[in-house]
Amino acid sequence: MTRQKKITLLLSITLFVMLAGSLITSLFFKEPWLWMDEVLSYLLISDPSIAHVNEAVVSGMDANPPFFANLYWFIGHTISLNPQFLRAVSIVIFALTIALFYRFTTTLVGTPVTNFVLITAIVSLTYLNITLATQIRAYSVFLLAGLFYFVVLQRLIASPANIKWLIAHCLAGLLLVLTHNFGLFYVAASGAFFAILYLWSRQRAYLLVLATYGLIALGWLLIWYSSFAIQTEAGKPHSWIPIPTFLSFFTTVGELIPTISSALERRPIFLVLPLLRVVLVSVLFIYIALLRLNKNSQAIWDDKALMVYLLAGWIYMATICIALLVSLVHTSVFISRYQWPSHLLLIYQFVYAWSLLRDRWHIPARVSGWNMQLVSVYALLLAGFLFYQNRKVVIFPGGVLQGLSQLDKRYPVFVESAHYFLPIWFHDKSTNVHYVLDWQTAVRPGNMLNASVEHKILEAVRNKYQVSGIMPEKSFNRMVVPHFYVIDEGGIYQIEQFIRSGQVRVIRQLPINLSGHRILECTFRS
């Protein structure tokens, strides 16, 4: 083993331990509450019957294919169903993905120490990584599946007729689209890339690669399409994701790019920063691509690192365009977490660009004992930074819990959203929390976009897991709940309908130190 390979292996292990150790440790220094989607995942994973899990996945409870739920069900029932353990599994998968990605990148670009510093800095300064890597959701698995898929694509560029890699492409593509529905966009984008390669090179071997896309599509249609069609009903009459606007487009795409402070960028005066970062990344990609494409065709084909750079830039931009087009003409799916695998592509673009500019500027890339000592200190400091970042991340707004403590436990508490109902129902057994399944208010014009989707989710939860706190509208009456509280959210229209119709009378309004919320003590009128 060469010295560079030894250093790469050592830094890969260091990277894995640093990410996994800091993020897992920080879990025990923060509130363990799961948020809405995690509770849904846990319901599926903790189900004693795997057959029932797969029925529930299609019922509207979840919007993803079945691979994640089945994988975590097996892990949970084999080792532990503790929610913190399952979160740790997601972190381990994330850390493994980044470590493998580091090795893949270093194999192509070289400079293991520089790559370690760049990759860890980018990962640590991208807030999305910390929020998604620590959840009991499909995202970490999706990221790992994305990495496997990108590696296979790189192999196929150089060896399009290799049977082993053609079979691997079919399997990796199926894994990607059966882990997350957004995987379809990545497969489509990469298919377009290979179509361009065929038209450019006229190598008939690329037709074999294009044929594997047909096999992936056929496999998805046979395995998942019928269930996918049922799942999409939960998104009607509209998606819960807002249709992208000019500014929200750059904000969403910008969440995949590292930043010094994501909180700072939410202030109105700094809204232009995501736009500038997206433009900078786009200009950098085009500049580097044009710079390298000046070489002759054979030199371009022989440069594996450059071909991966072109692949990464193409898929990164193409998936954004596909998601934007689908969101504008059909159903909005334009949200950053669905595009998380693109973050790996972006990191590769940064690393490759730096390696090229370093050579042009004649910056030495020596590896010495002193450099390794600095890297050790850097890794320790970064581990502390990641620990701090994850410790302060709050994915469930716990401010509402302070308001619950003042309420009379004899009376039920009604909430107007699933993102409150599910975490409170799961964690706070002292609160008799309820949600009313009222379709008419859920689809009322002007109500929050997610009201109709959450209605269908909770209806599926009630049907599949018999959660008694989820109450049909016909049961919301004086005989069943004569006296109750309501956590009224300003952006959601539900209890207002019952008050305006004269069915419900507000006795008093209780204080709660949470913007856009009020607690109402109510009774039904005689």
Q: What is the pLDDT of residues 196-224, one digit of tens each?
A: 999 988 889 999 999 999 999 999 999 99
pLDDT of residue 271: 77
Query: Cβ distance 37 to 152 under 8 Å?
Result: no
**pLDDT tens readout for residues 21-34:** 999 999 999 888 99
Give the DSSP per-residue string, 492-511. Answer: --SHHHHHHTTSEEEEEEE-
Phi, psi (degrees; rounded to nearest 5) at 288: -65, -40
Q: Is 166 exposed, middle or buried (0-12, 13-18, 19+ CB in 10 A)?
A: buried
Amino acid 1: pLDDT: 66
What are the φ/ψ torsions at residue 44 (nearest 5 degrees)? -70, -45
Q: What is the pLDDT of residue 69?
A: 95
Q: What's residue 468's pLDDT?
A: 87
Portion of the chain with pLDDT greater than 70, in percent: 98
Q: What is the pLDDT of residues 137-192, one digit of tens each?
A: 999 999 999 999 999 999 999 999 999 999 999 999 999 999 999 999 999 999 99
Which segment of 9-13, 89-93, 391-395 scores lowest on mean pLDDT?
391-395
Q: Which element (helix H / strand E) includes 472?
A: strand 470-472
Q: Coil, strand or helix: which one is 239?
A: coil
Mean pLDDT of the chain: 91
- Cα separation of 95 and 281, whole Å? 25
7, 13 Cβ separation under 8 angstroms: no
pLDDT digits (tens, 9 = 90+) for 223-239: 999 888 888 877 788 88
**β-strands 504-510, 517-524 pairing:** antiparallel
Which H helix or E strand runs over 413? strand 413-415
> How big is the chain by its Cα radius of gyration, in Å?
25
pLDDT in tens, 96-114: 999 999 999 999 998 899 9
What residue segments make up the domains of the chain, in order of their start? 3-31+63-236+247-392, 399-524
Residue 105 has what pLDDT?
Answer: 96
- pLDDT value at residue 210: 96
DSSP letter for each residue of 313-361: HHHHHHHHHHHHHHHHHT-----GGGGTHHHHHHHHHHHHHHHHHHHHT
Indicate yes or no: pTM above 0.75. Answer: yes
Q: Average pLDDT, stretch 444-470?
A: 91
Q: Is the pLDDT of residue 364 over 70?
A: no
